[in-house]
Amino acid sequence: EERGEEDTQQQLESDEEAIRIMTMHGAKGLQFPVVFCPFLWYRTGGFAGEEILVRSHENGQWLLDLGSEKFDQRREKALFESLAEELRLFYVAVTRAELRCYVMLAYCQGQRGALPSAKSALGYLFFHGQEISQQEQEQIFREFAESSGAAYQLLDPEPASLSRYQGTEDVQGLLMPRKSLGRTLQTDYQMSSYSAMAALGDHGSHAVLPEDEADTASSQAILHRGLPYGPVFGNLIHDCLETISFTAFQENENQETVAAITRICGRYAIDVDVALLQRFLGDIVTTEIPLPDSRSFSLAAVDPAQCAKEMGFYFHHNRFRTGEINEILASDPAVTALSAATMRGYLTGFIDLFFQYDGKYYVMDYKTNFLGD
């Protein structure tokens, strides 16, 4: 998987009005007012160029052909099976739209391992897989638009001219490279974050808690069973605590709170018991936080006017090595050492909650780690 997962990216204040980019697999079960499908015309070559092995189904089982007499026949069957899967995903993509769906087709003859656009799922539906000319394709789309109520528009019909540049004057003399400026680029001056530093962790080594600490951690009671866990659900909890008033979680019959939680669950595509989730959030904001003087308070008791949720910050720092952090935290068995790196510049990020209570300021970081039963 590519790096930069959703849980390590900076969150916008709200993405309800933003364009969401996702795969066709990820869009299953979701609905959007307007949907854009820009790449339904593209299809990789897949098995078309295979000459050594090919995989297909036969008699209800996977079959791996390493070069039998039926190799060409099975390769065609494998191509047909992959087309059937692409047609299924095509259906998923275009049926996500509630009001309008934009579908693009590029006239491509196929190269670099890609099949002609006529061989794609979109080409199969309109051209029956036949490689016809661009003019014939345009005619089919015009007829379809006239008969179905859909709209058709041809973009950039004429290719751009690629004429060679000709200088207006003859260059006299020998061209020489510019003299060096004698300046060194400061490549270590950068904008960094806690998430970027955490990504430097040596995940090959895992810290082991002492036996007594491990027993204590595993014996903690789970607040609510029946709720999911994982990084996506953790982001959902963070979003609820950020966008909804703490006191609202205590009002079980508040329809606005239920609607807000339901909307956030839909944004993360998580199927969860909203009433159970609200009780879970209610337990979080009413849990007593002990103070040094034997008193305590809960988040629900904090004045909303004294709270700054998801407060961004920028800290300037001089050059330092990650090895210095490793030395400071070497005695903590739960800390994973960071790989060697030197940083200089600014450290940026967001504080989950910064608030003032009873004349003192507090910084709070939310954690939703699942520690097990």
* pLDDT value at residue 57: 62
Q: Tokens in use for 267?
A: 């944004």
pTM of the model: 0.46
Mean pLDDT for the stretch of residues 353-362: 94
Cβ burial, residue 345 (10 Å; 0-12/13-18/19+): middle
Instruction: Identify whether the C-beta of residue 275 lies closer than 8 Å to the C-beta of residue 333.
Output: no
Mean pLDDT for the stretch of residues 357-370: 88
Q: Measured between alpha carbons, how far is 4 from 199 in angstroms, rounded to an integer?
A: 10
- pLDDT category at 112 given cuts 50, 70, 90 is low
Strands (E), the chain: 32-37, 54-58, 61-65, 97-103, 189-193, 289-290, 296-297, 307-321, 342-357, 360-364
C-alpha dihedral, 291 to 296 to 299 to 305, nearest 10° = -80
Query: Domains of the chain (ranges plus CATH)?
Result: 16-46+79-148 (no CATH), 189-364 (3.90.320.10)
* pLDDT value at residue 282: 93
pLDDT tens per residue, range 75-84: 777 777 778 8
User: Phi then psi for 48, rounded to 5 degrees?
Assistant: -60, -35
Task: Fill in the DSSP letter of residue 356.
Answer: E
* pLDDT value at residue 191: 82
What stretch of H or E contains 13?
none
**Where do the H-state alpha helices sit in 95-156?**
121-127, 134-148
Beta bridge partners of 102: 36
Reduced to 3 states (helix: H, G, I; strand: E, B; else coil), residue 372 is: coil
Q: How far is CA 134 from CA 18, 45, 146, 158, in A?
A: 35, 21, 19, 12
pLDDT tens per residue, range 320-348: 788 888 888 888 877 778 787 777 888 88
Instruction: Identify whether the C-beta of residue 95 lies closer than 8 Å to the C-beta of residue 88.
Output: no
Q: Are strands 342-357 and 189-193 parallel, antiparallel or unpaired?
A: parallel
